[in-house]
Amino acid sequence: MATKRLTMAQALIEFLQNQYVERDGRENPFFAGCWGIFGHGNVAGIGQALQQYADTFRYYQTRNEQAMVHTAAAYAKMKNRLQTFACTTSIGPGATNMITAAAGATINRLPVLLLPGDIFAERLQAPVLQQLESEHSQDISVNDCFKPISRYWDRINRPEQLITALPEAMRVLTSPAETGAVTLALPQDVQTWAYDYPVELFERRVWHIPRNRPDVGALRRAAEWIRQSRQPLIVAGGGVLYSEATDILRQFVERTGIPVAETQAGKGSMPYDHPGALGAIGSTGTEGANILAREADLVIGIGTRYSDFTTASKTAFQHPDVRFININVAEFDAYKHSAIPLVGDARATLEELLPLLEGWQVSQAYRARAAEYNRKWDAEVERIYNLEHGPLISQGEVIGVVNKLSQPQDVVLCAAGSLPGDLHKLWRTRDPKGYHLEYGYSCMGYEIPGGIGVKLAAPEREVYVMMGDGTYLMMPSEIVTAVQERIKITIIVLDNHGFASIGGLSRSLGSEGFGTRYRYRTEDGDFKGDVLPIDFAANAASLGAYVMRANTRDELADALLKAREYQDGPVCIVVETDRDQSVPDYESWWEVAVAEVSEIESVREARAKLEEAKSRQRHYL
């Protein structure tokens, strides 16, 4: 057997650069490169290997370990999970900084490969700098914290263990159902050890991404249920986009007349102006989507995991005899709500289901009702876009200005705060990949690194990163990364002097916005003093961004036009907004626990409302 003598780290990088994926005849490298920050736990191992292979496997320098995993996840999302990055760190804090973003990748079912350095396998040097010691086992480190949030986890204690670990890691990373964060913990000494690897390990390998089909019997039962229904509703989730099923979904809707409501991950499954498009569903949903959800006798979930926001904490579907059909690559999700499980690829399943419905469609009255809700909602969006609120502009108006000046192929990106809910309701989607929300984990700080990932995945598109001031302060450091790589993203920071989203939620729960404003502490111990003198524009400028301030709708429009022309790196536009002017809720609810007993009257009132709302919750059995 022919062999090649390499260090473990060199073998790892050579393997990664030769992995390809193929779906529907389209083939591409699976890894676009590696993000990393070097420390004593990886600089002489993975660091040396990345330097050695720099001409064929690109290395990207980042400023924060959490941020680079966000970037990789956003890139993978934009690429429909057909390409991603590896991420390497030193041991200790460098490794554990990735945990938050790794959890987000797994929750959102996005492939990322994590390569944290680890303690010496020899153990002679122990305890090394940054080592967690345990009196119960020598075979433990902080990297064990990755186990519950990784879809595959391994520690490479001998260089030859790569030979079996790497194919398993790729199996999980390329699985439509099982993908997420994959962690290979790499002891710093083992990274540098040499081994005679079989040359076959480094041959070009193509991983074929299947379009699995559901059971034929289940398809027939699903078709019969649809034919029996009178008010069916489709709930489109992220699986529609990942499987590139938007065209067949539109055909399905036009032939059957079944209207579509969208989750956060599934927004963009239908163009906003299609008469069968009801827009957002659930706690951040539109009026029409939530009314038809409440009345639906059959719910067809496509690529959704039915989060609490989608189901309005299990209050959305109120028909006494409601039934579910779930199309999902993951059996776990397909069986939810006692559904007929159509375990398979969304596009392939819809292609096989549609012929079974030949000649059937909903009533003309039901079809017309959905179209009317679409028109009414568009008018409501236009009203909010043009509030002419003042003196400070409202968040809804900011969304409107950005939406109207963006092109159909442009991407809006967000993750946390009140903006995701407002964007879910208000953003007019014109392209399946034009709406990018990380709302499975809703991680503050995702936005700027996520914007970098999206721009790397789609350099031909303008990327608008929208964020509140609270989430901006979590991860402004990645502006430097965008400057270094000359990556053009437009960051729109809404300065509302604190955590406006949680402030509003706190007030609705009777807690008066406690601890959510950026103000000086007063003598009574609360934060009721003057507004903190934070200059977000100056901060972004100090990190290298091209910065503009906008205090009115016209100034914001002018800044956005200038930003589109600027292509030399990141742009930051800071807009002061009215934190108290919010977008309403529409026919929905979301459960947040409220104290059962309290001396505060407003809390007691909120508890009473909670108990009344909980009476509408259902188990779908």
Which contacts qualify for 395-398: CB closer than 8 Å, 24 or more apart? Answer: 395/419, 395/422, 395/494, 395/496, 395/577, 395/578, 395/581, 395/582, 395/583, 396/422, 396/426, 396/581, 396/583, 397/553, 398/466, 398/492, 398/494, 398/556, 398/575, 398/577
Please state which of the ranges 353-362, 445-454, 539-548, 602-611 shows the lowest mean pLDDT: 602-611
The pLDDT value given to residue 32: 98
The pLDDT value given to residue 438: 97
The pLDDT value given to residue 488: 98
Per-residue pLDDT at 508 exceeds 90: no
The pLDDT value given to residue 502: 81
The pLDDT value given to residue 386: 95
Residues 68 and 282: their CA atoms lie apart, in Å, by 31
The residue that leads in pLDDT, 129 or 378, is 378
**Using 50, 70 and 90 to split pLDDT, how confident is the model at 398?**
very high
Residues 64 and 100: their CA atoms lie apart, in Å, by 12
> What average pLDDT does this structure show over 382-401?
93
Name which of 424, 419, 472, 484 is nearest 448 in CA terms.
472
My answer on whether omega of the bond before 391 falls inside 30° of 0, hence cis, is yes
> What average pLDDT does this structure show over 435-460?
97
The residue that leads in pLDDT, 387 or 517, is 387
The pLDDT value given to residue 456: 98
The pLDDT value given to residue 500: 79
Order the strands of the 205-208 sheet from edge to edge. Answer: 26-29, 19-23, 205-208
The pLDDT value given to residue 497: 85
Per-residue pLDDT at 297 exceeds 80: yes
Dump the DSSP string for 151-199: SEEEE--SGGGHHHHHHHHHHHHT-TTT-SEEEEEEETTGGG-EEEEEG
- Residue 78 CA, distance from chain mean position: 10
Phi/psi of residue 26, each to 5°?
-95, 125
Per-residue pLDDT at 389 exceeds 80: no
**Using 50, 70 and 90 to split pLDDT, how confident is the model at 160?**
very high
Name which of 483, 513, 477 is nearest 498 in CA terms.
513
Mean pLDDT of the chain: 96
> What average pLDDT does this structure show over 204-233?
98
pLDDT in tens, 543-594: 999 999 999 999 999 999 999 999 999 999 999 999 888 899 999 999 999 9
The pLDDT value given to residue 266: 98
Q: Is 32 exposed, middle or buried (0-12, 13-18, 19+ CB in 10 A)?
A: buried
Residues 280 and 421: their CA atoms lie apart, in Å, by 9
The pLDDT value given to residue 513: 79
Reported as type and span, the H/E element at residue 413 is: strand 411-414
Name which of 164, 161, 73, 47 is nearest 439 in CA terms.
73
Dihedral Cα 119, 122, 127, 133, nearest 10 deg: 70
SS3 of residue 233 by DSSP = strand
Name which of 124, 118, 122 is nearest 146 in CA terms.
118
Per-residue pLDDT at 37 exceeds 80: yes
- Residue 150 CA, distance from chain mean position: 16
> What average pLDDT does this structure show over 141-148?
97
Both tokens of residue 420?
Answer: 């995701």
The pLDDT value given to residue 164: 98
Tell me the C-alpha to C-alpha distance, in Å, between residue 241 and each of 176, 432, 557: 12, 7, 30
Reported as type and span, the H/E element at residue 561 is: helix 553-565
Per-residue pLDDT at 511 exceeds 90: no
Residues whose CB is less than 8 angstroms from the CB of residue 580 and which lie 6 or more positions away in sequence, other chains included: none
Q: Which fold has domain 3-208?
A: Rossmann fold (3.40.50)
The pLDDT value given to residue 472: 96
Stated pTM of the model = 0.97
Please state which of the ranges 223-237, 249-263, 288-302, 591-605 shows the lowest mean pLDDT: 591-605
The pLDDT value given to residue 504: 80
Both tokens of residue 13?
Answer: 């990088």
**Using 50, 70 and 90 to split pLDDT, how confident is the model at 331?**
very high
The pLDDT value given to residue 343: 98
Per-residue pLDDT at 607 exceeds 90: yes
> What average pLDDT does this structure show over 331-346?
98
The pLDDT value given to residue 259: 98
The pLDDT value given to residue 512: 78
pLDDT in tens, 44-98: 999 999 999 999 999 999 999 999 999 999 999 999 999 999 999 999 999 999 9
DSSP class of 511: S
At which residue do the structure tokens 């442009």 appear? 410
Per-residue pLDDT at 521 exceeds 80: yes
CA pseudo-torsion sign 365, 371, 374, 380? negative
**Ranges for all domains in the chain classified under CATH 3.40.50.970:** 3-208, 387-497+532-576
Name the CATH superfamily for 387-497+532-576. Answer: Thiamin diphosphate (ThDP)-binding fold, Pyr/PP domains (3.40.50.970)
The pLDDT value given to residue 503: 79
Name which of 434, 414, 373, 444 is nearest 587 in CA terms.
373
For domain 216-376, say whether CATH 3.50.30.50 is its number.
no
Percent of the chain with pLDDT over 70: 100
The pLDDT value given to residue 498: 83
> What average pLDDT does this structure show over 225-249?
98
pLDDT in tens, 124-134: 898 988 889 88
The pLDDT value given to residue 460: 97
Residues 402 and 111: their CA atoms lie apart, in Å, by 30
